Amino acid sequence: MAGFERNLPREGDMKVGATLFAHPGLPVEADALRQLRDACRIPSVERVIATPDIHVGYGVPIGSVVATSEVVIPAAVGYDINCGMRLLTTGRRALDADAALLAGSIRRDIPLGEGKRNVPLDREEFMAVLARGVPALCDIHRRDHPVWDHLDPVREPEAWSHIEEGGSMPGDPAVLSARAIERGQYQLGTLGGGNHFIELQEVVGIEDPLRAASWGLFDGQLVIMIHSGSRGFGHQVGEEFMALARSRTYGEPHPSRELCYMPVDSREGRAYIGAMHAGANLAFANRHLMAALVAKNVLHHYPCTALKLLYDVPHNMAKLERHDGRLLWVHRKGATRAFTSDRMAGGPFEDTGQPVLIPGSMGSFSYVLTGVPENERALCSANHGAGRRMSRTAAAGKVNRRGGRIVRPGLISDDEFRTAMEGITLICENRRTIKEEAPQAYKDIEAVIEAVTSSGLAKVVAKMRPLAVLKG
């Protein structure tokens, strides 16, 4: 692991130092290091860690893990609460399926981009989802959308054990604003924009045959990855509670205007935890409904396909976990939990450890990994993706939204983008802005995965290449 781990020493009013796990060939922005130092100034902070995809975020870097004993930090969770990954296996060889056909079919059932609506719920049903997450879907007996025909109440509980927290956290709808509820109520079953995607992939390498077989993965297999979060609801909750934290003082000053905290035992802290859990439940349910719509389309074109959920894992969350004998609030922003088998006892992964899902950018490889014992050094965490190396504006340039005129050209040309996506079916909502998510805008996923494995954060089980990508 030499060369892949470095320390930011404690200095000034920092309460702890920070540890970075990163590839020496991938530069880290100075502003990301400044944000990491700011996180080390939070009261009751115990550990601060950067994962190999670290880049500048709001308040703290994306790709950071911050553990505290007495406070919660809304900015260390971020705006897209429980932005997470889900991987479906098909039991079908990719060569025997038409990925472009499937992607086009899925597109007709799942709206792409921001501000879209799909699966209707009345207020009582939506509040139940916010309170209980995926299990609440089984209590909804609607027939006004085809998604309900693809949720089997008898088989559903089996899938819940393949979702972190069983797809359900103790949400508290009573602490939510009317605006948050309004923004979220009609967005279930929608993908969203930004870096969210649905990707049809082919398994092109198995590095841990025993775990892969246990998880139903095999070389040449068609698998489907879904990346989405809590949509406008999560953004509203994040915005409101970051503003609330800024407006309060609790003895010690906030490290920055962006990075504000609340004691967990304060009224504001308890309200944020309940609201964050509600956002997590919405995101779990959103991915669950989209997965049902994906299954609808796969089974329509290829009946008898054995679709199964491998795992669903959140990224942007604060969770109370035991580390080194202590209970800590572990904030993962743009980072994923990576638990070993001993932490997965009593479930389907007690012999293998938790599946860790790390996608590349569209056009590059994605990986399934598993947690390793030495990862306690990183609070059992790993990065959630490749990580940006240039901003969206730098990648795509600046376009006059009204007239479509290019105000400033991007660093990635149209030809470079086409070359990077060659052989991959791309379906997107906005062709003018899609270069914001070009593979060249992200770090080299191979170098990032080398940092993950060499640092002892996780072990590769399987590698996948993209066949078709749906983007907002």
pLDDT in tens, 36-93: 999 999 999 999 999 999 999 999 999 999 999 999 999 999 999 999 999 999 999 9
Sorted by sequence, the CB contacts under 8 Å of residue 249 that are 6+ apart come out as none
Q: C-alpha angle 202/203/208, rounded to 5°?
A: 170
The pLDDT value recorded for residue 136 is 97
154-169 mean pLDDT: 94
Residues 103 and 115 sit within 8 Å (Cβ to Cβ): no
Domains and CATH numbers, the chain: 5-389+442-471 (3.90.1860.10)
Could you say which of 235, 254, 315, 384 is catalytic? 384
Cα 15 from Cα 17, distance rounded (Å): 7
pLDDT at 155: 87
**What is the pLDDT, as a whole number, of residue 392?**
85
Q: Are strands 326-333 and 317-323 parallel, antiparallel or unpaired?
A: antiparallel
**6: Cβ–Cβ under 8 A, 6 or more apart, which residues?**
19, 20, 22
Q: How many CB atoms lie within 10 A of CB 108?
A: 9
- 384 an active-site residue? yes
Predicted TM-score (pTM) of the model is 0.96
Q: Average pLDDT of the chain? A: 94
Least confident of 34-48, 161-175, 284-298, 405-419: 405-419
What confidence tens digit (pLDDT) does each residue in 209-260 have? 999 999 999 999 999 999 999 999 999 999 999 999 999 999 899 999 999 9
Best CA proximity match to 360, nearest among 218, 229, 463, 216? 463
